[in-house]
Amino acid sequence: MIADRTARRLRADGCPHRHALSPFPIRQTSYARTGGEVVEPTQQGNLSPSKQTATQGAGSPRKNAPYHGLSKEELVDMFRVIYTSRKLDDAEINLKRQQKIYFQISGAGHEAVLVAAARVLKPTYDWFYPYYRDRALCVGLGMTPVEVLAEAVGSSEDPNSGGRQMPAHWGHKDLNIVSQSSCTGTQMLQAAGAAQVARIMEAVEGLKERTDQYTGDEIVYVSIGDGATSEGEFWEAINTASNMKLPVMFMVEDNGYAISVPVSVQTAGGSISKACAGFENLFITEFDGCDPVESYAKLQEAADYIRSGKGPALIHAHVVRPYSHSMSDDEKLYKTDEEREVEAKRDPVTSYPAWLISEGIATEDEVAQVRAEVEATIRQAVDDALALPTPHPDTALDYVYSPDVDPTSADFETAPVYAEDAQETTMVDLINDALRTEMRRDPSIVVFGEDVADVTREELLGKVKGKGGVFKVTHRLQEEFGGARVFNSPLAEANIIGRAIGMATRGLKPVVEIQFYDYIWPAYMQLKNELSNIRWRSNNNFKAPVVVRVPIGGYLKGGAPYHSQSGVTLFTHVPGLRVVMPSNAEDANGLLRTAIRSDDPVMFLEHKHLYRQTYNKGRNPGPDYMIPFGKANIVQEGTDLTIVTYGALVERSRRAAKLHPDLSVEILDLRTLSPYDWDAISDSVKKTNKVIVAYEDNMSWGYGTEIATRIADELFEYLDGPVRRVAALDSFVAYHPDLEDRILPQIEDLADAIESLAKY
């Protein structure tokens, strides 16, 4: 294994980096907004470090000392980290040219502000959501050169991902560096959710004592390039963090380009800090990020603001990118020689050591010695990394799902315990009961989404009836558990899922609601590329077992195209997600409890048409009733043919079978769509020899197509007729009931299929 991680950490309170004077002025400002007022303004211009210290106000004791209190050793160590980061870039570039690694993207030019961030912030205490340029931050926090290169070579010993992700996709459990994906901007919302954890733990009695992930005044650091500020999730995260005064440090590393597209195309006015100036409670500072000393001072000021509880900070650091975007890019195609020469003058790998020498902080020999020591370390690290083992092919499926908790096992099969006076009630009521009893059992469960709370202003609890969701599924939960555990989100679906991922990563159990499946698409990036694979891509170092409740489906009479869709295939196609769709009240209660107690992300699909039907009512099965995933229910037994179905088509299949009293029809309710109960399907088909697969998705490319194909592939010798499908037309669902009835599968369609197949 790679060397002991505790010994690897460079320090307990951060890491050094500091200075390189810009050849052209960078407007340096710091200000915060509270209640619309701009407070604590400073404008320091392009001052030398000694002049800059004179302008600092009270606060950190470092601010009133030369070089902001940084000692010679710290200033020189900052160069060591800057140079280490750069030589790691260069080593990877050489390895890529030798075809010993498969991709390279550098952090060159960004090192100075990142070394400052590593010194201001605290590994193992604060939390980090970096992006691919943040090599120097990770080195500064304590990641060793061998660990960095282990990801480049794709080693199974790589602490970032175990060889599953590209280089510069950072993640280190011991250092609180949360696994990064390739998606730009998605980590912003996750950071906001992670920052909210402290707020929730403070408010919920007994919760913070149950975890070691709560520190009290931690900062959640998250970074992006200037191009990613164009992503909507950046604005959603800034808005939420500012509105809630969350302790987030938003770092924008502005090198002027998103690959080849300049900032003038990305941002109106050319300045993201200027564009964000209207957010209340947001501390904003803009400065030369190639200057590690000034970066340190600005970041310390921002960190003090955040730790004081005043709100988040936006760090707008002007940096350079002296290398191309990646080795797949050539910046000479879109940058002039003059522009590249100007950037080279600001490059901290050369300008900072020159400043150290000019200030008399270090001699030329001392700088040369640092370079020599770093180069020797990197040469050895390259050799060590190339000798590391690579992942065994048989591990490819490891950690797609939890290796520790198996929701398909007998551990999740419990008998119902009915009260003597238990009356039948609706699916809505029994889902509400499952949420309520689970929240009583586990204080880490939080429920949020659009309109899920009874009230937004808690002082109104008991004075008004309360909302509790548009379908009343979460009604009165806030009344019992308070606003820290049941709360409304902005009308922003990605915001819901992204924040839930951040919370779950730090030990909470979010059970969130997307108000209508039809509007889930803004969250799909978070669902597919973030939630589903965080365990797998981090090699089981991080997980996010979020439960996502989604009202779904048609048969509403007036639902129209945007309240009637049923695209379950979009979730069952994604490895890492469990997908559940109950057809009756008791199943909904037991399956939701399984979903909450499992250790994987679960899409819990609730058919809107079934919420308050009388035919699927059930009695309360008790606070520990669970149904294992992947276990179908035989709704009725038969011998002539089988209908495999789920959701709203279960009852329609039952009624269709009644229209053929001369036939013995077996109806199989899958209940969970991923995993699904192949053994039950196989046993039934072997018994009846004929099968219909009924599903509410469009006929083409729908969920039932997978089932039908597998039956034809693996059970062909048992079939006495074709595998029939009954599904929706390849259309949208219309508003008028006559059109909706024609588009969605009806009892008559199922009855016709039964009659036709029975004739074979």
Instruction: Report the distance separating Cα 161 and Cα 171, nearest Å.
Output: 7
Active site residue 563: yes
Residue that has been written with the tokens 């083409």 in this structure = 700
Phi then psi dihedrals of residue 262, to 5 deg: -75, 160
Nearest to 137, CA basis, from 265, 257, 295: 295
Q: Is 136 helix (H, G, I), strand (E, B) or coil?
A: helix
- Pairing mode, strands 313-318 and 283-288: parallel
Q: Same topology for domains 412-610 and 633-758, yes or no?
A: yes
Amino acid at 672: T
Whether residue 549 contacts residue 606, with contact meaning beta carbons closer than 8 Å, is answered with yes
- Residue 371: the pLDDT is 98
Instruction: Report the distance separating Cα 78 and Cα 70, nearest Å.
Output: 10
Instruction: Report the distance separating Cα 426 and Cα 473, nearest Å.
Output: 11
Encoded tokens for 112: 């100075």
Instruction: Report the distance separating Cα 657 and Cα 664, nearest Å.
Output: 8
Instruction: Report the distance separating Cα 196 and Cα 187, nearest Å.
Output: 14
Q: Which strands form 691-698's sheet, in the order they lie side by side?
A: 633-636, 665-669, 641-645, 691-698, 724-728
Instruction: Report the distance separating Cα 516 and Cα 548, nearest Å.
Output: 11
E strand intervals along 436-508: 445-449, 486-488
Estimate to the nearest angstrom the gap between the alpha carbon of 81 and the chain centroid. 29
Report, as ranges of residue numbers, the positions in the chain whose pLDDT lies below 50.
1-27, 34-63
Whether residue 291 contacts residue 21, with contact meaning beta carbons closer than 8 Å, is answered with yes
- Residue 266: the pLDDT is 87
- Residue 214: the pLDDT is 66
Q: Is 150 helix (H, G, I), strand (E, B) or coil?
A: helix
DSSP string across 674-685: ES--HHHHHHHH
Count of residues making up the chain: 760
- Pairing mode, strands 633-636 and 665-669: antiparallel
Nearest to 534, CA basis, from 173, 123, 1: 173
Whether residue 234 contacts residue 480, with contact meaning beta carbons closer than 8 Å, is answered with no
The residues spanned by each domain of the chain are 5-52+69-391, 412-610, 633-758
- Residue 32: the pLDDT is 58
CATH code assigned to 412-610: 3.40.50.970
Angle, to 10 degrees, between the axis of helix 348-358 and the axis of helix 364-386? 150
In sequence order, what are the residues at sequence separation of 6 or more whose Cβ sits closer than 8 angstroms to the Cβ of residue 338?
Answer: none
Whether residue 587 contacts residue 532, with contact meaning beta carbons closer than 8 Å, is answered with no
Encoded tokens for 265: 């195309």
- Residue 465: the pLDDT is 84
Phi then psi dihedrals of residue 475, to 5 deg: -60, 130
Residue that has been written with the tokens 């149950």 in this structure = 210
Q: What is the pTM of this model?
A: 0.91
On the question of a cis peptide bond just before residue 167, with omega within 30 degrees of 0, the verdict is: no
- Which of 563, 609, 660, 736 is the catalytic position? 563
Encoded tokens for 289: 């990020």
Whether residue 675 contacts residue 578, with contact meaning beta carbons closer than 8 Å, is answered with yes
> Which superfamily, per CATH, for 5-52+69-391?
Thiamin diphosphate (ThDP)-binding fold, Pyr/PP domains (3.40.50.970)
H/E element holding 693?
Answer: strand 691-698
- Residue 461: the pLDDT is 77
- Residue 592: the pLDDT is 98
Whether residue 37 contacts residue 309, with contact meaning beta carbons closer than 8 Å, is answered with no
Amino acid at 372: A
- Residue 256: the pLDDT is 84
Whether residue 382 contacts residue 95, with contact meaning beta carbons closer than 8 Å, is answered with yes
- Architecture of 633-758 per CATH? 3-Layer(aba) Sandwich (3.40)
Whether residue 74 contacts residue 16, with contact meaning beta carbons closer than 8 Å, is answered with yes
